[in-house]
Amino acid sequence: MRISVVTAVFNRAGTIAEAMESVQRQTYQSVEHIIQDGGSSDGTLDEIARLSNDASQVVSERDFGIYDAINRGIIRATGDVVGLMHSDDFFANENILAKVAYAFIDPTIDGVYGDLQYVAANDPMRIVRHWRSGQYEPAFLKRGWMPPHPTLYLRRQVFERFGLYDTSFSIAADYDAMLRYLVQGQIKLAYIPEVLVKMRLGGESNRSFERILRKSREDFRAIRKNGVGGIGTLAAKNFSKLGQFIVKDETTK
C-alpha cells in the first residue's frame, strides 16, 4: 500500500524542514511526499531542495489559498491512501504511518485517524492542548464531533467519489469535507488511540481572534450545508475544546 503525504506550504522556511524530516523518518517505506509550494520567497524552496529525496514530489506555483493548494497536491498524489502533513506540523514518532497502513489492511475501512497535540509555536516540546478524539459514532456529529484533520488518512476513492475541499471556505473546508464524507459518503473510520501528529499553535484557524470568529461562521455554514444540526451543534463543537486544555502528565510522553 502506497501512502501519499501532502504538504501545502507558503513561506515557512522556519518549519518546513522539520515537517519534511518527520515524513522521511517514518519506518513505513512505501511513502511519497507531495509538496505543493505556493511560490515561497523566504528561503522555503531552498530548504525543500536541501532535504528533497526520491520520495519528494515538489511543485512550486501560484495558488488561490491553502485548500486550493491541498487540492492540487491530492490530484498529483499517486498513493492508495492520502493524508496531510501541514508545514508547521510533525509526526509524534517514526512509526505513525506504519500504524496507519496496518489499520487499512481491513478492506472495509475508508479512513484512519488518531489524536492530536497542539504545541507552542516557539517550543514544540510544550504541549498546550491535547485532542483525544475517541471512537467515532454517527450521533456524535450533531454534538460537533470531528476527527482531528491533520491525523486523518483516507483512501483515494473517498476523494474521487465525494470530492475535494470546497474552496469557497477559507478556513473550514476541512470540517465541511469531513462532514460530507461522513454524512453523504457514510465512510467507515478506524481510530488509532494515540497521538499521531503534533501541531504548532498559530495556524490558519487559530492565529488570531478574528480568524477564530471567521472559522466559527464557516463551521456553522458547514454544519447547515451537511444537515448535521444548527447553532447548538456549533456551540457544542466549540465547548468541547475546553477539555483539551487539561493536559495530564501522560500526554507529554
Q: Is there a contact between 160 and 76 (Cβ–Cβ < 8 Å)?
A: no
126-178 tens-digit pLDDT? 999 999 999 999 999 999 999 999 999 999 999 999 999 999 999 999 999 99
Q: How confident is the model at residue 250 (pLDDT cuts 50, 70, 90)?
A: very low
Q: So what's the pLDDT on residue 210? A: 82
More confident residue, 24 or 248: 24
Q: Which of 53-57, 146-150, 160-164, 234-238 has the lowest mean pLDDT?
A: 234-238
Rounded to 5 degrees, what are φ and ψ at 118?
Answer: -95, 130
The percent of residues above 70 in pLDDT, for the chain, comes to: 95
d(CA 143, CA 136): 12
Going by their DSSP bridges, the two strands 189-200 and 89-91 should be labelled as: antiparallel
Mean pLDDT (the chain, rounded): 93
| Grid cell for residue 129 | 492542548
Q: Is there a contact between 153 and 66 (Cβ–Cβ < 8 Å)?
A: no
Q: So what's the pLDDT on residue 209? A: 72
Q: How confident is the model at residue 245 (pLDDT cuts 50, 70, 90)?
A: confident
Q: So what's the pLDDT on residue 253? A: 39
- CA 86 to chain centroid: 7
- CA 214 to chain centroid: 19
How far apart, in Å, are the Cα atoms of 88 and each of 110, 116, 119, 204, 227? Answer: 26, 13, 10, 11, 32
Q: How confident is the model at residue 252 (pLDDT cuts 50, 70, 90)?
A: very low
| Grid cell for residue 111 | 479512513
The percent of residues above 90 in pLDDT, for the chain, comes to: 88
Domain 3-252 architecture: Alpha-Beta Complex (3.90)
Q: Helix, strand, or coil here: 248? A: coil
Q: Whose grid coordinates read 517514526?
A: 94
d(CA 76, CA 57): 9
Tell me the whole-structure pTM to 2 decimals. 0.92
Task: Parse the chain into domains and list their residue ranges.
Answer: 3-252
Q: How confident is the model at residue 207 (pLDDT cuts 50, 70, 90)?
A: low
